Amino acid sequence: MKHLLKLLDLSGEEIIDLLNLADQLKYERRHGIAHPHLAGKTLGMIFQKSSTRTRVSFETGMIQLGGYPLFLSSRDLQIGRGEPVQDTARVLSRYLDGIMIRTFAQKEVEDLASYGSIPIINGLTDFCHPCQVLADLMTVREYKGSLSGLKMCYIGDGNNMANSLIVGGLKVGMKVSVACPQAYQPDQQVLDFANANGGFTMTDDPCAAAENADVIFTDVWASMGQEGEAEKRRIAFTGYQVNDEVLGAAHADCMVQHCLPAHRGEEITEKVFEAHADEIFEEAENRLHAQKAVMVRVMG
Ligand code: CP
Ligand code: NVA
């Protein structure tokens, strides 16, 4: 694995290998066993959008691996003043051992990888959120013992999270059902992959999607960069909420996952969120372990 640009680029075996390594790194961290796999290496972290989890988990993860993280806000980089990503990639490749980038266009991440000569890790684009979904799969496997054959359900916006969950879930052998409003469907490239893969269903009815689910995911109705559409989206997504009625259609021991930040009363009720808080915050913790596994595989 040279980069982590999107889960579509990985095989199911590569995903499982990352989850196995993440489990091992989590065990070692819990037991105080040092693992300086990236001693002396430097990771640049470019952020063109806000972040709590991604920034802190990559930064601390890199330190735990013996390396050094540099937080690079696009407000301060020349990239924020229009320096082309092709030039930024070639310059930063001469200083750093890897780059994690959170930005808008997926093309920018792909360009960094093709013009640079160091590993690139996608820390969220409008298209996908692969690091998050590796942590999500890790968490589901931790609670359920396995992934293959389980039913994953996603309710809400056909956004970056939906795109990565569909691809990641199907690649590890899960069944995936999605409920989105007609006008907010996942990316066509993802739907083409899903429909060719089998095990995928798409509906506009949340309760139908949740039927016999083992895990239900949701995400915000308005993502970063869509703040101006928030009101329009609040109307379009009414009914696309993870609540008691939706959970009633799922298996009794169904998990609930949310990448966070969550908007209680919108995509998820306060009651469901708090009832599943342990699973949701384990998921947040697993960002650290899953991303350390990614860094070891691409930069090690
Ligand atoms: N889930 C997630 O990526 O959180 P941040 O936006 O806080 O990084
Ligand atoms: N879909 C959300 C995920 C945040 C982690 C966004 O892009 O803002």
Domain boundary among 103, 127, 151: 127
Residues 52 and 97 in one domain: yes
| Residue 166: closest CA among 196, 188, 191, 143 | 191
User: Contact, 119 vs 98, CB < 8 A?
Assistant: yes
CATH number at residue 61: 3.40.50.1370
Residues 279 and 168 in one domain: yes
The residues that are catalytic are 102, 129, 132, 219, 259, 287
Residues 145 and 273 in one domain: yes
Residues 167 and 203 in one domain: yes
Sign of CA dihedral 228, 233, 235, 238: negative
Read out DSSP for 31-46? TT----TTTT-EEEEE
Q: Is residue 148 part of a domain?
A: yes
Closest C-alpha residue for ligand 2 atom 6? 223
Which helix or strand (DSSP H or E) is residue 293 part of?
helix 277-299
Q: Is residue 195 part of a domain?
A: yes
Residues 123 and 140 in one domain: no
Residues 114 and 184 in one domain: no
Residues 167 and 208 in one domain: yes
Calculate how far, in angstroms, residue 165's C-alpha sits from the geometric centre of ligand 1.
15
Q: Is residue 11 part of a domain?
A: no
Domain boundary among 100, 127, 154: 127
Q: Which ligand is nearest to the CA of 132?
A: 1
Q: How high does pLDDT run on average in the chain?
A: 98
Q: What is the pLDDT of residues 187-235, one digit of tens each?
A: 999 999 999 999 999 999 999 999 999 999 999 999 999 999 999 999 9
Q: Is residue 297 part of a domain?
A: no
Pocket test for ligand 1, best of 47, 48, 54 (most atoms within 8 A of CB): 54
User: Contact, 121 vs 294, CB < 8 A?
Assistant: yes
Radius of gyration from C-alpha coordinates of the chain: 19
Instruction: Output the pLDDT for position 166.
Output: 99
Residues 146 and 218 in one domain: yes
Q: Is residue 292 part of a domain?
A: no
Which residue range is the domain that position 64 belongs to? 36-127
Q: Is residue 255 part of a domain?
A: yes
Residues 166 and 42 in one domain: no
Domain boundary among 127, 161, 184: 127
Residues 57 and 134 in one domain: no
Residues 208 and 250 in one domain: yes
Q: Is residue 246 part of a domain?
A: yes
Calculate how far, in angstroms, residue 293's C-alpha sits from the geometric centre of ligand 1.
18
User: Contact, 136 vs 217, CB < 8 A?
Assistant: yes
Atom of ligand 1 nearest to the CA of 55: 8
Per-residue pLDDT of the chain (300 residues; tens, 9 = 90+): 999 999 999 999 999 999 999 999 999 999 999 999 999 999 999 999 999 999 999 999 999 999 999 999 989 999 989 999 999 999 999 999 999 999 999 999 999 999 999 999 999 999 999 999 999 999 999 999 999 999 999 999 999 999 999 999 999 999 999 999 999 999 999 999 999 999 999 999 999 999 999 999 999 999 999 999 999 999 999 999 999 999 999 999 999 999 999 999 999 999 999 999 999 999 999 999 999 999 999 999
Q: What is the pTM of this model?
A: 0.98
Q: How many domains does the chain have?
A: 2
Residues 144 and 278 in one domain: yes
Q: Is residue 295 part of a domain?
A: no
Atom of ligand 1 nearest to the CA of 57: 8
